[in-house]
Amino acid sequence: MELTIYLAGQIHDNWRKDFKEKATSLGLPLQFVGPMENHERSDQIGEDILGEQPNQILKDEAASKFNNLRTHVLLNKSDIVIALFGEKYKQWNSAMDAATAVALNKPLILIRPESLHHPLKELSEKSQVTVETMDQAIQALAYIFAEK
Amino acid sequence: MELTIYLAGQIHDNWRKDFKEKATSLGLPLQFVGPMENHERSDQIGEDILGEQPNQILKDEAASKFNNLRTHVLLNKSDIVIALFGEKYKQWNSAMDAATAVALNKPLILIRPESLHHPLKELSEKSQVTVETMDQAIQALAYIFAEK
Amino acid sequence: MELTIYLAGQIHDNWRKDFKEKATSLGLPLQFVGPMENHERSDQIGEDILGEQPNQILKDEAASKFNNLRTHVLLNKSDIVIALFGEKYKQWNSAMDAATAVALNKPLILIRPESLHHPLKELSEKSQVTVETMDQAIQALAYIFAEK
Amino acid sequence: MELTIYLAGQIHDNWRKDFKEKATSLGLPLQFVGPMENHERSDQIGEDILGEQPNQILKDEAASKFNNLRTHVLLNKSDIVIALFGEKYKQWNSAMDAATAVALNKPLILIRPESLHHPLKELSEKSQVTVETMDQAIQALAYIFAEK
Amino acid sequence: MELTIYLAGQIHDNWRKDFKEKATSLGLPLQFVGPMENHERSDQIGEDILGEQPNQILKDEAASKFNNLRTHVLLNKSDIVIALFGEKYKQWNSAMDAATAVALNKPLILIRPESLHHPLKELSEKSQVTVETMDQAIQALAYIFAEK
Amino acid sequence: MELTIYLAGQIHDNWRKDFKEKATSLGLPLQFVGPMENHERSDQIGEDILGEQPNQILKDEAASKFNNLRTHVLLNKSDIVIALFGEKYKQWNSAMDAATAVALNKPLILIRPESLHHPLKELSEKSQVTVETMDQAIQALAYIFAEK
Amino acid sequence: MELTIYLAGQIHDNWRKDFKEKATSLGLPLQFVGPMENHERSDQIGEDILGEQPNQILKDEAASKFNNLRTHVLLNKSDIVIALFGEKYKQWNSAMDAATAVALNKPLILIRPESLHHPLKELSEKSQVTVETMDQAIQALAYIFAEK
Amino acid sequence: MELTIYLAGQIHDNWRKDFKEKATSLGLPLQFVGPMENHERSDQIGEDILGEQPNQILKDEAASKFNNLRTHVLLNKSDIVIALFGEKYKQWNSAMDAATAVALNKPLILIRPESLHHPLKELSEKSQVTVETMDQAIQALAYIFAEK
């Protein structure tokens, strides 16, 4: 039994690469999917496909459609959603993806530093588990397959 | 036909009171529900009901359960969700409530200043309509009932 | 038991007014809802609320959001959807509303002239009943309440 | 991860063949399904299976059942629906398939010439993305799998 | 709290009238709905509304659409479905309505003479309760409201 | 793409064997499932597993549980349900399985002799297609895969 | 806005009466429903309606059908489920009703003495809130309506 | 066709090992999943991943989150749930898993000694089949695949 994991959250550093490597080193039968991690491409994708837009808002709106298309398809395919929140950025789309997973009856693992516990308390309460580090999230995934 | 509107978003000023008064002055058949607007009580509700908690995180966790209970019940009862985002605060629970509404097939009206268009672009794309002011949101509600 | 009926279809003449009057004259316990019937206002609503848009496509896009908001809310509230197709106009939004009703397990009554049977054959097959005149649709509604 | 794509829309030219070839040339892991593209057979299928029908309407009705059977099965199997609208034909069944996909939580990609923006504005608003050319739709599919 | 009860089953005698009278005499807060009980009208309704049909099968097909419209609407409105089977008639539409209720998570009360236990054993197993008489079904309804 | 077909209907002759052979000879990518076709074992399965029951009704009730377990699992796995009705037997469980399929959004193909058109008219109306022979049902399945 | 509360849990003392009185004294707009609280009648209801059964197991089975009918109907009507667990009794039907509520997206309030925290830990984790006393549960309900 | 079976129930002895061996010896195409069977690890998993907790209740709460994560994922993947109840232990999480399966339209096989028939009567009524021994449950699984 292989599980598909959607890695939601910010795309400003290489945390997904680290996460996948750690999971792979444990030999867990997991397939990872997630958003476009090239931030610039993620912001440009609307104009890349549709051509130049009249203004910055419409450029953003166009980009958001293709980013949401990707998320929509891949989230539907996933068994578990992991959302990582960091100190920087608004990350409202991460909160959106996390809440969508919960509403679709897909378990959510929330990773956040303790310093964010107050603003994330309601989302944490909706998650299946909340942890502080990637290692803890990987242990949670490993536990699903553990036999002893 | 009366509609029930859940007013999601920050609870740090009196925007809901203004919103209701404007809607009322137009005679729209609307019933408004939403989160506890007394911020201090919202943060204290866990300890108010369950007693003192071992630490701040657990105090927050306790509070989040009662806040989410309220939201869970009232969101289920609603026909439309309006989420207002402002410049301050993380507002991740607002994003969560907004995305939950969309997943439950309830239309979402997003109110946000133009300055927030970039971080909110994906949530905006999921909303039914995005506007910049409360007046525009009220006009959107009025249009549902308009006959000419 | 009162039923709520969504009257989908073109908004270029007064067919809904006739329909409601005929149903009312029979004393059927029905409440009617539907799209904005003032065509000009329906096309202008985006700019009316959001202000002038950069071009005609964006004006249309803005209008469609408020029109779909109205339809989204009122269709969710309906027990039956009636869609009337005529010889003129593309009426793709009528087909969209009709198919959405079917997918939401709400019975669809399709009214169309016999001349349109070929292009509407698949939608007709998805409807609960297909008739040619408003009078027949009203008889269908009356039959739901008939006791002998 | 392979995705299944339902190609809705008119069946009067070979656009699906072109579409598949372009997607194949990019090496995307896609499986394509769609309606019967032989228009004559699509119109005759009712009588081909059930025998001669009393009149043209019943011939159409019979055909629509087998066409909808095919669509029903294949749409349920799909991850994404692409609907292409052209200048000719009523294409109400395309609008129906597109709206059904949205109601089933399957993302919709709408392809339409700019000239059709007005009559398609409500369906466009319901789609996940709207583009003008097949190439743009293929780029949207490619973006789902893109790693950088 | 008032409950709506759909009375499925054959329409060849006055069992629904008896049933309603017995329930009424107990003062239970129930509203009853069901199919057209005038058998001849139920068979004629297709031609009554659509006009004469080419043959008997098409006359039946037309009638079935209006009968299913009625059932579709009223079953959606119901809290409980009661299906009565008797010795005569095929009653496949009764089995269909009963199974539809179960699939929609509405509890089913099956009334059937002991002599029919063998052919109805699978449907009986799907019902919430199976009884042999109308009086027993009414007692089951009364038990929902009983306080001691 | 392989489809799974549930063959509902009476188990008193070998129609399923014929059906599978015909489908196989056409090379269609189909997997067939269905109820226990050994009638005696189907009636005995309750006592075979649970031991002797107090009376005939309880023996039937026990058997129906295991038969419904089989149907429940296999129907959930199916893409299409085919239900064959014949002149003999009550076949209420066939009507139940057919209606359950429709409610679960799985297309239903109904096979029945023309002589049964009247009692099956409502179920026929709910089916995706109704045919009179097994050959016609197989042609309907073949049409789903046909390319020209 | 009135809410309907299902009071699940053991029926061996008068806790529901106390609960309702406390809620009433606060003027909360609540309607309470729940299982038959007369324990003897709850155990006898199968034989009361269906007549004497062959043995104790079948008597229990018959009773469980009518008890589950009541729960099925009233749980469907509820907005919130409250489940109280005490030191005595197995209370597996309480756990069943509680889990059913969660699966139906109805928030669960769990009341249990601290001494039961270990065996109830998984159900507690699924609940929206877990408290130790009826007073705390009533405060949770009051918080849904509180304005400051 | 391979089926996935979730083995719910107590984890205090090796019943799952026996069960799998018996099923394997019959060559049934089954894949088994279930909770962590190492009881000590199941109780410690919260602290193993999150570190020491302030008190016993919070240790339990932490453990329950990871246990429910595992169950949530694996139950979603299952076709059938088997729940075994024994004389010892509260087993409320088994009742919870069993009821969740029923609510998700997955058939439930309940195994319990006759001595528990009274407290389990409502859960038994909700199950698809109730048996007394593992051998009987395995026969039920075998019957799904049996051809004669």
Contact status, residue F117 vs residue E57, Cβ threshold 8 Å: yes
Per-residue pLDDT at A67: 97
What is the mean pLDDT of each successive set of 10 residues along chain B, which is 148 residues long?
95 90 95 96 97 95 97 98 90 96 98 95 97 97 95
Average pLDDT over residues C4-28: 93
For residue D124, pLDDT over 90 is answered with: yes
Contact between chains at B73 and G109 (C-beta distance less than 8 A): no
For residue A144, pLDDT over 90 is answered with: yes
Per-residue pLDDT at D29: 96
- Please name which of A146, A138, A145, A147 lies closest in space to residue A24, comparing C-alpha atoms: A138
For residue A27, pLDDT over 90 is answered with: yes
Q: Which of C45, C65, C67, C106 to mutate to test the interface with B (most CBs of B within 10 A)?
A: C65
Residue E52 buriedness (CB in 10 A; 0-12 / 13-18 / 19+): exposed
For residue A87, pLDDT over 90 is answered with: no
Chain C touching partners, 3 or more CB pairs below 8 A: A, B, D, E
Specify the DSSP element, H or E, that contains A98. Answer: helix A92-103
Contacts of F148 in chain D (CB under 8 A): 37-38, 41
For residue A88, pLDDT over 90 is answered with: no
D51 Cβ neighbours under 8 A, 6+ residues apart? none
For residue C18, pLDDT over 90 is answered with: yes
Q: How far is G69 from chain E (nearest CA, A)?
A: 6
Find residues 85-124 of chain A whose CB sits inside 8 Å of chain B: 85, 89-93, 95-100, 102-104, 114, 116-124
Per-residue pLDDT at G88: 83
| Residue C80 tokens, joined | 């039956």
For residue F12, pLDDT over 90 is answered with: no
CA atoms within 13 A on the CB side of C85: 28
Q: Which of F107, F139, F143 sits opposite D72 (nearest CB)?
A: F107
Contacts of G54 in chain F (CB under 8 A): 54-55, 58
For residue F141, pLDDT over 90 is answered with: yes
* E55: nearest CA partner in chain D: D54
Find residues 42-71 of chain C whose CB sits inside 8 Å of chain A: 54-55, 58
Contact between chains at B126 and A63 (C-beta distance less than 8 A): no
Chain A touching partners, 3 or more CB pairs below 8 A: B, C, D, H
* G80: nearest CA partner in chain B: B73
Helix-then-strand count for chain E, H and E: 6, 5
* E71: nearest CA partner in chain F: F122
* F138: nearest CA partner in chain D: D49
Low-confidence ranges of chain G (pLDDT < 50): none
Task: Kindly indicate the confidence band of residue C126, based on its pLDDT and cuts at 50, 70 and 90.
Answer: very high
Contacts of H55 in chain B (CB under 8 A): 54
Share of chain E above pLDDT 70, in %: 100
Contact between chains at G41 and E146 (C-beta distance less than 8 A): yes
- Please name which of A2, A11, A5, A7 lies closest in space to residue A90, comparing C-alpha atoms: A11
CA distance linking residue E12 with residue E14, whole number of Å:
7
Contact status, residue B66 vs residue B46, Cβ threshold 8 Å: yes
Average pLDDT over residues D87-105: 94
Task: Kindly indicate the confidence band of residue C119, based on its pLDDT and cuts at 50, 70 and 90.
Answer: very high
Residue G96 burial (CB count, 10 A)? 27
Average pLDDT over residues H20-37: 95
Task: Kindly indicate the confidence band of residue D69, based on its pLDDT and cuts at 50, 70 and 90.
Answer: very high
Per-residue pLDDT at G10: 85
Cα dist. C36→C9, C12, C70, C73, C92 in Å? Answer: 11, 11, 8, 13, 16
For residue D148, pLDDT over 90 is answered with: no
Share of chain D above pLDDT 70, in %: 100
H118 Cβ neighbours under 8 A, 6+ residues apart? G56, G60
For residue E90, pLDDT over 90 is answered with: no
Contact of F10 with chain E, judged by CB distance below 8 Å, is answered with no
Average pLDDT, chain C: 95
CA distance linking residue B130 with residue B113, whole number of Å:
10
Contacts of D143 in chain A (CB under 8 A): 36, 45, 49, 66, 69-70
Which tens digit of pLDDT belongs to each residue from H75-125? Answer: 999 999 999 999 887 899 999 999 999 999 999 999 999 999 999 999 999
Domain extent listing, chain F: 3-40+77-145
For residue D13, pLDDT over 90 is answered with: no
Q: Quick one: how far is CA H135 from the chain centroid? A: 16
**E strand spans, chain D:** 3-9, 30-33, 80-84, 108-111, 129-131
Contact of H31 with chain A, judged by CB distance below 8 Å, is answered with yes
Place of tokens 């990872």: A32
Contacts of A129 in chain H (CB under 8 A): 65-66, 69
Q: Report whether CATH 3.40.50.450 matches the domain G3-40+77-145.
A: yes
Per-residue pLDDT at C148: 84
Q: Which of D80, D106, D136 sits opposite A50 (nearest CB)?
A: D136
Contact of B20 with chain A, judged by CB distance below 8 Å, is answered with no
Contacts of C148 in chain E (CB under 8 A): 37-38, 41
Which tens digit of pLDDT belongs to each residue from B84-120? Answer: 999 887 899 999 999 999 999 999 999 999 999 999 9
CA distance linking residue E84 with residue E91, whole number of Å:
9
| Residue A52 tokens, joined | 């130049």
Which tens digit of pLDDT belongs to each residue from H2-27? Answer: 999 999 998 888 899 999 999 999 99
Beta-bridge mates of residue A81: A6, A108
For residue F107, pLDDT over 90 is answered with: yes
Contacts of A106 in chain H (CB under 8 A): 76
- Please name which of F66, E122, H92 lies closest in space to residue G92, comparing C-alpha atoms: H92
| Residue G67 tokens, joined | 């008890």
Per-residue pLDDT at E135: 97
Q: How far is B43 from chain C (nearest CA, A)?
A: 33
Q: Which residue has the higher pLDDT, D67 or E14?
A: D67
**E strand spans, chain F:** 3-9, 30-33, 80-84, 108-111, 129-131
Q: State the count of interchain CB pairs (< 8 A) between B and H.
A: 6
